[in-house]
Homo-oligomer: A and B are copies of this chain.
Amino acid sequence: MKPEAASPAYQPLYRQIKLLITEGLESGQWKPGQSIPSELELAKRFNVSQGTVRKAVAELAQENVLVRRQGRGTFVPSHAHERAQAAFLRITPDNAPIHAIHAELVDCCRVKADERSARQLDLDPGASLIRVRRLLSINGRRVICEEARVPAGLFKGLDAAVLESHRCMLYSIYESVFQIRIVAAEERLKALLAGAEIGDFLGLAPDAPVLAVERVAYTYGRRPVELRRGFCNSADHHYANIIS
């Protein structure tokens, strides 16, 4: 492979390699938890130098799409085994580490996408979504009430039975059952009053404040595949963020 001539669509070699690796991940050629071939092998396969592969892999590792371990290899992170979860669960107790997370299913049903949701998910208005509502407990205390909506077309067969038989984080289920890996997300936070329904779920008065977290979650290639709304009792918990 040679760098192509300058052009409006010019992409450096290592970015093309990056794309090729991403395609391998998307197609399921290398699965979560497994390692991908070594740098030297990929270099041979793509007919570039090891340095170019290294640069591509470094960027993917940077984006948490791959994990490099010196002496062992380069791995596809899994929401299941690893605590790659940690990156997507930003709510933590104020003065303690998380030692247990537990999810209770509230309901799971089909809904039609409203205009905004359709736009956010890149679907036609009125497209069919599956809506999952759950209550999350951290260290035995019910803290978060959340609602996820995903395209029914991508998540065929997602229902209460599947959710009950995989009592873990949703993203582990997306990954293990539907082969969809969440790799990035955008969130918007607001403070709201709980209201009757959410107050009930969280054991709060309707006029208690809750932290509302709206999320658009993305799979490879920045394709949006999930909308989520979480309401958190932030009396003894907070949303943690690191800038820069």
Stretch from A38-46, A68-76, A132-140, A232-240 contacting the other chain: A232-240
Chain A: residues with Cβ within 8 Å of the partner, total of 32
CB-CB nearest in chain B for A239: B189
From known contacts A243-B184, A243-B186, infer whether A191 and B210 are also in contact, taking CB-CB under 8 Å: yes
Q: Which residues of B contact A64 (CB under 8 A)?
A: 244
Task: List, in ascending order, chain B residues with CB within 8 A of A188's CB.
Answer: 238-241
**CB-based nearest B residue for A214:** B238
Set of chain B residues within 8 Å of A237, measured between Cβ atoms: 190
Interface centre among A87, A190, A210, A211 (most CB of B within 10 A): A190
Contact of A234 among B63, B191, B238, B242 (CB under 8 A): B191
Main SS class of interface, A? strand
Q: Given the known inter-chain contacts A190-B211, A238-B190, please indicate yes or no for A88 contacting B183, CB distance below 8 A.
A: no
Interface: A101 (CB within 8 A): no
A240 to B188 alpha-carbon distance, docked (Å): 5
CB within 8 Å of B: which of A80-128?
87-88, 90
A208 to chain B, nearest CB (A): 8
Contact between chains at A209 and B238 (CB < 8 Å): no
**Residue of B190, B192, B241 touching A186 (CB-CB under 8 A):** B241
Question: For the complex, is A164 an interface residue (Cβ under 8 Å from B)?
Answer: no
Q: Sample 16 A-B pairs with CB under 8 A, ordered by A number.
A: A88-B243, A183-B244, A184-B242, A184-B244, A185-B243, A186-B243, A188-B239, A188-B241, A190-B211, A190-B234, A190-B239, A191-B211, A193-B209, A209-B209, A209-B210, A214-B238
